[in-house]
Amino acid sequence: MGFSSQHPAKLWLTALLFLLCILLAVNYGELKTAADIDWMDILGEGSSLAVVLAWLLLVLYSRPAGPVTNGLYVGSLLLVLSYQLNLLDEFFQYPDSHRLLSWLESIPAPVGMLILTLGLIGWHKEQAFINRQLASRELHLRHYQLLDPLTKLYKPEYLLAVLKRELELQQQHQQPFCLALVDISQFSRFNREQGMAAADLLLQQLSELTLLQFRSGDLVCRYSGDKFVILMPQSNQAIAQSLLQNASRELTTYLPTQLHWTITEITAMQHVTQPQRLLSQLWQQLQRQKQQKTLWSLV
């Protein structure tokens, strides 16, 4: 989504005020001679203007509408106007009788800074809230490039990084953790009968619902296609199994699907060093299990 489609009015207002300032300066001021112009000042003030203008555009580009965006926008707009007039007075000489332009130059800057700071405080609060919302999706690490674009869950690379950390931590606290590989039963048939758009929607709904079924410390990742991996720290096989049974029961009531899963418990005694191998073991177990047509298995 480009900023022209998200905040068209804000963009127009910025352009309008920008032009208005130039017209005001041209109207009231007289152009300085080349000898009077200090190019070092222009360089300094011009670059500050460019930077605040970039802030403003970035805010409009990256943020959805809302009070925090409005605060950040108004704050940076006032700064832009103030810095712009500051730059313009390097080119124009104003008569002493006109105080308007010098007020316009000096008053908006501190006000803009204040509003921008308030906006940043709002942003900080919003971020804290989003962090809580994200807690079920991520564990200790944030890496946006490793997000699966469809389900917004993390990809297996992320899981490996978390798994490595979990294995290291286990050497200290000695508590077992569980890893489950979950697979949707007859997904390719669903895909064929309902089409790919419906299958994508199913994956999205399934991932949202799965997130609700697990505890805040657990991590749900999309492994590949219709397979998900769930990491359950500080839990043994019995806890993991009851969590998965619950989740499966809940999901089958809402979605036209059934789950297969396989769980492995990792204890400090096992001295696992290669997380990759753990996952491929789980994978093979799930393949075997699908051939035997059983719903779940424990390794």
Partner 1 sequence: MSKALLAFDDKAMLLSTAALDMILLCQRRGFALDSLLKGTKLFEQDLRKATTKISPAQYLQLVSNCQKALPGPELAYLTAQSWLHHSHSPLLLMLRHSANLQQALLSFYRYRSQLLPLVYIRLQRVQGQLRLVLRPSFDLGKQQAFIEQLMLHYLLGLVKQQLGDTSRLSISATGMDYETSWLYQHQWQLTPELCLQNCLSLPLALLKHPFADANPVLWQQQQNWCLYLQQSIPEKAAFTEQLEQWLFTVLRQSPSQEDAARHWGLSLSSLKRLLALQHTSYQQLQDQVKACAAQQALLVQGMSNKTLANRLGYSDEHNFRRAFKRWTGLLPSQFRS
Which positions touch partner 1 (CB under 8 A)?
A: 1-2, 149-150, 188, 191-192, 195-197, 200, 224-225, 283
- Closest separation between CB of residue 133 and partner 1, Å? 17
CB 231 within 8 A of CB 177: yes
Cα separation of 264 and 259, whole Å?
Answer: 17
Cα separation of 22 and 17, whole Å?
Answer: 9
- Tokens 């605060």 — which residue? 71
- Closest separation between CB of residue 2 and partner 1, Å? 7
Q: Name the residue nearer to partner 1 (CB basis): 148 or 250.
A: 148
Burial 139-166, CB ≥16 within 10 A → b, else e: beeeeeebbbeebebbbbebbbbbbeeb
- Closest separation between CB of residue 130 and partner 1, Å? 17
Q: Name the residue nearer to partner 1 (CB basis): 33 or 291.
A: 291
At 199, list the tokens: 């299958």
Q: Name the residue nearer to partner 1 (CB basis): 17 or 147.
A: 147
- Which strand (E) or helix (H) includes residue 86? helix 67-88
- Say how many Å lie between the first and final Cα of the chain, rounded: 46
Q: Name the residue nearer to partner 1 (CB basis): 33 or 133.
A: 133
Instruction: Identify the DSSP state of 171.
Output: H
- Closest separation between CB of residue 96 and partner 1, Å? 52
- Closest separation between CB of residue 289 and partner 1, Å? 15
Q: Name the residue nearer to partner 1 (CB basis): 66 or 195.
A: 195
